[in-house]
Amino acid sequence: MIFLEVLTIPKDDAIAFTFFTGYMAMLAASIFFFFERSRVDGKWKLSLLVSGLITFIAAVHYYYMRDYYLATGENPTALRYIDWTLTVPLMCVEFYLLTKAAGAKIGLLWKLIFASVWMLVAGYIGEAFNPEGGSTSHSVLWGVLSTIGYIYILYTAWFGEVAKLAEASNSDVVKKGVRTLAWFVLVGWAIYPIGYMCMPGGWLNVAFGLGSQNVDLFYNIADAINKIGFGLVVYNIAITSSENLKTA
Amino acid sequence: MTRAIFVFIASVLLLLPFILNEGGIPISYQMIICTPFLLLLGIPHGAIDNILYLRNNPIKNGKFIGVYLVLVGLNIGLWVILPGVAYIMFLLLSAYHFGQSQFSHYFNKQPVIYKVLYLFWGVSIISGLVYLNVEEIQQIMSQHKEFAAFYSLHQENHMFYIFLISTICTFLLMIFLTAKKYLSLETLLMEMLVLTLIIACFYLMPLLIGFTLYFVTLHSFKVLREEYRFLNSERVVNSISNFIIMVTPFTLFSIAGIGLLFGLIYLNILSLSYGYCLLIVISSITLPHVFVMNSFYNLLFRRNFYKGHT
């Protein structure tokens, strides 16, 4: 009986719908990446494992977040950021692994991890410690601080070390793949601030009346696009590169 | 993505939250915020027109400056006799120039269809700026009698149709050029994103701040960078400090000229409003600059400059 109560989804609740869809999509993507890992060349196995871990960690968190949301009707902010604290640095690991063959140093990985943690910690303070009723200045300050981390990652992916290493890799597959991931950072990651600005005091909340429930709607959509999409790009690089090796 | 686009996106992301938080910013404050950027980055991008033109045309520096000044004089004359025509000409030339600098690095020649794209792109952003800030513009213009001649040009419904048609034409042209493989799919997506961001910026930001952000990052910074890289490849300058020294004389001269005109207005020797005077000055500098830059881009295309210099 309790089980049925927890799983009841209101027909008009798009957020609950995306929590469930997100959970299943992440789980399905994880299974796909783990199974496909056996089909790719040895040097890509770790990349696919990381892709699978990203979606699997997200699936577990989505399992808890959907119940939390249905039980309380509130944003599962803490669970959300715990998920991101684990998965976003893993996305940075993907950049490192892709460019490692071209000479990426461990320092690149740490810089990307630092920037992603900076971005998340500032975002968490902005969201979780928002004063009662919402404060625009609080939301703006921490939002901008978080954006600095994002801009660093964006620069690294488009012009910085990652882009240069991809260019030096002499592999069209890696070049194209890294560029696609850079597009994910530019467009896909930009969906998150839209959700952030829906919280009480956020600009979209104040100017357009978008309620705080939309925070999760945008986050769920962004997570599905970025985590699964990111993994699929890595998968595509791995499988194409492995097939090229076989035919060579 | 070019570095100019990156700087634009980063600036929008960092500044927009503060500006939205501030709400309406009076035009006087906007001028205080924007003037240093316009003077230090806007003016220098046109301050070496003589050097750039002379690389492509065998004429003497004195003759070039003479022709330059005659064009400036003719333009001022047009502003006195037919201000409406001068104003429209200024907007159209600026539109073409903005479009040309936005797309220059994608091409290696300039057939008519590219020029049409330059014009539509520029008209789209200028009409977007006016349409999306029409109340602010009309409020500023209503304060000075000289602007009465342009009041009818800024009617909201006219601007809406110009904005709509030029934007649709820009998108269609970009799609057509992509279908014909003159632009890559990635370029199409990037330029669509940038145009959307510029328009969003004009909608969300106050008039002068929105324009300055576009003008300084996407236009001036990009052109300055192209000028520097070209002169560096030609061994005319060998460092950024050399380049800064090169752009400094005419930048200071222009700033001093504007200062002098404002002084004359302040002393009631020149009976114009500051805004109208600035509009004539900018228009008069723009006219020869557009022709010089057109010649400069033709030179870059002939030298295959953009191969490896994007």
In this model, does residue A207 exceed pLDDT 80?
Answer: no
**Contact yes or no for B18 and A144 at CB 8 A:** yes
Evaluate whether residue B309 is within a structural domain. no
In this model, does residue A1 exceed pLDDT 50?
Answer: no
Evaluate whether residue B307 is within a structural domain. no
Evaluate whether residue B191 is within a structural domain. yes
Contacts of A150 in chain B (CB under 8 A): 13
In this model, does residue A246 exceed pLDDT 80?
Answer: no
In this model, does residue A154 exceed pLDDT 50?
Answer: yes
Residues 6+ positions from B91 with CB-CB distance below 8 Å: B126
The pLDDT, as a whole number, for residue B308 is 56
Evaluate whether residue B180 is within a structural domain. yes
The pLDDT, as a whole number, for residue B45 is 87
Residues 6+ positions from B135 with CB-CB distance below 8 Å: none
Evaluate whether residue B310 is within a structural domain. no
More confident residue, B88 or A211: B88
Amino acid at B146: E
Contacts of A155 in chain B (CB under 8 A): 6, 10
Query: What number is the average pLDDT over the span A20-43?
Result: 91
User: Using CA atoms, how far apart are residues A91 and A117, in angstroms rounded to an integer?
Assistant: 12
The domain in which residue B128 lies consists of 3-302
User: Using CA atoms, how far apart are residues A162 and A167, in angstroms rounded to an integer?
Assistant: 9
The pLDDT, as a whole number, for residue A7 is 63
Evaluate whether residue B12 is within a structural domain. yes
Of A140, A150, A186, the CB nearest to B18: A140
B6 touches chain A (CB under 8 A): yes
In this model, does residue A25 exceed pLDDT 70?
Answer: yes
The predicted-structure confidence for A168-201, as pLDDT tens digits, reads as follows 888 888 888 888 889 988 998 888 888 888 888 7
User: Using CA atoms, how far apart are residues A127 and A124, in angstroms rounded to an integer?
Assistant: 5
B1 touches chain A (CB under 8 A): yes
Q: What is the DSSP letter of A41?
A: -
**Contact yes or no for B13 and A159 at CB 8 A:** no
Alpha-carbon distance B229 to nearest alpha carbon in chain A (angstroms): 17
The predicted-structure confidence for B196-249, as pLDDT tens digits, reads as follows 999 999 998 888 899 999 999 999 999 999 889 888 888 888 888 988 998 898
Q: What is the DSSP string of chain B?
A: --HHHHHHHHHHHHHHHHHHHH----HHHHHHHHHHHIIIIIGGGGTTHHHHHHHHS---HHHHHHHHHHHHHHHHHHHHH-HHHHHHHHHHHHHHHHHHHHHGGG-SS--HHHHHHHHHHHHHHHHHHHHHTHHHHHHHHHTSGGGGGGGGGG-HHHHHHHHHHHHHHHHHHHHHHHHTTSS-HHHHHHHHHHHHHHHHHHHHS-HHHHHHHIIIIIIIIHHHHHHHHHHHHTTS--SHHHHHHHHHHHHHHHHHHHHHHHHHHHTTSS-S-HHHHHHHHHHHHHHHHHHHHHHHHHHHHHTTTTTT--
Alpha carbon distance, N-terminus to C-terminus of chain A = 59
Residues 6+ positions from B274 with CB-CB distance below 8 Å: B262, B265
**Contact yes or no for A154 and B3 at CB 8 A:** no
Going along chain A from its start, the domains and CATH numbers come out as: 2-247 (1.20.1070.10)
Alpha-carbon distance B269 to nearest alpha carbon in chain A (angstroms): 47
Q: What is the DSSP string of A176-198?
A: HHHHHHHHIIIIITTHHHHHHTT
In this model, does residue A6 exceed pLDDT 60?
Answer: no
The predicted-structure confidence for A36-86, as pLDDT tens digits, reads as follows 988 888 888 888 999 999 999 999 999 999 888 888 888 888 899 999 999
B185 touches chain A (CB under 8 A): no
Q: A76 in helix, strand or coil?
A: coil
User: In which band, very low, low, confident or very high, does the pLDDT at A3 lie, cut at 50, 70 and 90?
Assistant: low
Evaluate whether residue B261 is within a structural domain. yes
Q: How many CB atoms lie within 10 A of CB A72?
A: 9
B3 touches chain A (CB under 8 A): yes
Of A136, A151, A158, the CB nearest to B13: A151
Alpha-carbon distance A120 to nearest alpha carbon in chain B (angstroms): 16
The pLDDT, as a whole number, for residue A228 is 93
Kindly list the residues of chain A whose beta carbon comes within 8 Å of any beta carbon in chain B. 136-137, 139-140, 143-144, 147-148, 150-151, 154-155, 158-159, 179, 183, 186-187, 193, 203, 207
Q: The tokens of B167 are what?
A: 């934007």
Please state, rounded to an integer, the average pLDDT across all residues of chain A: 86
Q: Are B118 and B100 in contact (CB under 8 A)?
A: yes
Stretch (H or E) spanning A226: none
Contacts of A147 in chain B (CB under 8 A): 13-14
Contacts of A143 in chain B (CB under 8 A): 17
The predicted-structure confidence for A107-121, as pLDDT tens digits, reads as follows 888 999 999 999 999
| Residue stretches of chain B with pLDDT short of 50 | 309
**What is the maximum span of chain A, computed from C-alpha positions, in angstroms?**
63
Alpha-carbon distance A179 to nearest alpha carbon in chain B (angstroms): 10
Evaluate whether residue B119 is within a structural domain. yes
- How many domains does chain B contain in total? 1
